[in-house]
Amino acid sequence: MSKEKVIIQKLATKYNLPLQKVEEIVYYQFKYVVNIMKKGDFATIRLPYFGAFSAKSERIAHLNEKTRRKNERLANSKQ
């Protein structure tokens, strides 16, 4: 069993919570960072006591272009 699963199991036991609920709580912060980074309109995301996350402007431009092309393909396929 991985280290993170052991920690999640211990937290679930300690606080008498379902394992799935504890996993949601633990992973929520990372889902939040991913959602903010996907938007591309941020400078840096800071999680207290964990660190700061940022993306290079070139990477954001690449992802925006990829999204734009995907949206165009979807629009064209609906016509």
Model pLDDT for residues 29-78, shown as the tens digit of each residue:
889 888 887 776 777 888 888 888 887 878 878 878 888 998 999 888 87
Q: Which residue has the higher pLDDT, 17 or 60?
A: 17
What distance in Å separates the CA atoms of residue 32 and residue 34, rounded to the nearest whole number?
A: 5
Residue 40's pLDDT is 66
What distance in Å separates the CA atoms of residue 69 and residue 76, rounded to the nearest whole number?
A: 10
What distance in Å separates the CA atoms of residue 55 and residue 59, rounded to the nearest whole number?
A: 7
Q: Which among 33, 39, 32, 42 is positioned nearest to 63, based on CA atoms?
A: 39
Q: Which among 36, 68, 29 is positioned nearest to 54, based on CA atoms?
A: 36
**pLDDT at position 22 over 90:** yes
Residue 47's pLDDT is 87
Which of helix, strand or coil describes residue 45? strand
